[in-house]
Amino acid sequence: MTNTIFYSIIMKKNMYVIIKHVKMNDNRKRLPVVLLNADTEIWEFETLEEAKKMKEIFETNSDSGHEYEVKKI
Protein backbone atom coordinates (compact mmCIF):
# COMPACT_ATOMS: atom_id res chain seq x y z
CA MET A 1 0.00 0.00 0.00
CA THR A 2 1.44 3.37 -0.98
CA ASN A 3 1.66 6.26 1.44
CA THR A 4 -0.90 8.25 -0.57
CA ILE A 5 -3.55 5.53 -0.34
CA PHE A 6 -2.81 4.96 3.34
CA TYR A 7 -3.06 8.70 4.05
CA SER A 8 -6.42 8.90 2.22
CA ILE A 9 -7.85 6.04 4.26
CA ILE A 10 -6.75 7.54 7.58
CA MET A 11 -7.88 11.08 6.77
CA LYS A 12 -11.31 10.08 5.46
CA LYS A 13 -13.93 11.52 7.82
CA ASN A 14 -17.24 13.28 7.61
CA MET A 15 -17.12 16.90 6.58
CA TYR A 16 -19.95 19.38 6.15
CA VAL A 17 -20.52 22.38 3.90
CA ILE A 18 -23.15 25.10 3.80
CA ILE A 19 -25.17 25.65 0.65
CA LYS A 20 -26.68 29.12 0.19
CA HIS A 21 -29.88 29.06 -1.88
CA VAL A 22 -29.80 32.48 -3.53
CA LYS A 23 -33.25 33.88 -4.22
CA MET A 24 -33.52 34.83 -7.91
CA ASN A 25 -35.37 37.89 -9.23
CA ASP A 26 -38.41 35.89 -10.37
CA ASN A 27 -38.86 34.54 -6.78
CA ARG A 28 -39.67 31.08 -8.17
CA LYS A 29 -36.16 29.70 -8.52
CA ARG A 30 -33.20 29.53 -6.18
CA LEU A 31 -29.56 29.14 -7.20
CA PRO A 32 -27.55 26.82 -4.92
CA VAL A 33 -24.07 28.17 -4.09
CA VAL A 34 -21.44 26.45 -1.92
CA LEU A 35 -19.98 28.91 0.59
CA LEU A 36 -16.26 29.60 0.38
CA ASN A 37 -13.77 30.58 3.09
CA ALA A 38 -11.45 33.61 3.06
CA ASP A 39 -8.98 31.70 0.86
CA THR A 40 -11.72 31.09 -1.78
CA GLU A 41 -11.74 27.37 -0.95
CA ILE A 42 -14.87 25.41 -0.11
CA TRP A 43 -15.65 26.16 3.53
CA GLU A 44 -15.67 22.79 5.30
CA PHE A 45 -16.80 22.09 8.84
CA GLU A 46 -15.60 19.09 10.84
CA THR A 47 -18.79 18.66 12.87
CA LEU A 48 -22.46 18.86 12.04
CA GLU A 49 -23.02 21.04 15.11
CA GLU A 50 -20.45 23.60 13.97
CA ALA A 51 -22.01 23.78 10.49
CA LYS A 52 -25.54 24.11 11.89
CA LYS A 53 -24.47 26.92 14.22
CA MET A 54 -22.97 28.88 11.32
CA LYS A 55 -26.06 28.18 9.19
CA GLU A 56 -28.26 29.66 11.93
CA ILE A 57 -26.06 32.76 12.10
CA PHE A 58 -26.36 33.27 8.35
CA GLU A 59 -30.13 32.79 8.41
CA THR A 60 -30.53 35.23 11.29
CA ASN A 61 -28.53 37.87 9.43
CA SER A 62 -30.13 37.33 6.01
CA ASP A 63 -32.37 40.20 5.00
CA SER A 64 -32.67 39.03 1.38
CA GLY A 65 -34.63 35.86 2.00
CA HIS A 66 -31.79 33.49 1.13
CA GLU A 67 -32.01 30.01 2.63
CA TYR A 68 -29.08 27.95 3.88
CA GLU A 69 -28.64 24.18 4.02
CA VAL A 70 -25.99 21.97 5.63
CA LYS A 71 -24.77 19.07 3.46
CA LYS A 72 -22.53 16.15 4.41
CA ILE A 73 -19.70 15.54 1.95
Q: pLDDT of 32-56, one tens digit each?
A: 999 999 999 999 999 999 999 999 9
45 vs 9: which has the higher pLDDT: 45
- Report yes or no: 16 and 47 within 8 Å, Cβ to Cβ: yes
Q: pLDDT of 11-40, one tens digit each?
A: 567 899 999 999 888 777 889 999 999 999
CA atoms within 13 A on the CB side of 35: 21
- Report yes or no: 67 and 18 within 8 Å, Cβ to Cβ: no
- Report yes or no: 34 and 49 within 8 Å, Cβ to Cβ: no
Using the 8-state DSSP alphabet, how is residue 40 labeled?
Answer: S
Say what the pTM is. 0.75
Question: Which residues make Cβ contacts (< 8 Å) with residue 35, sequence separation at least 6?
Answer: 17, 18, 19, 20, 42, 43
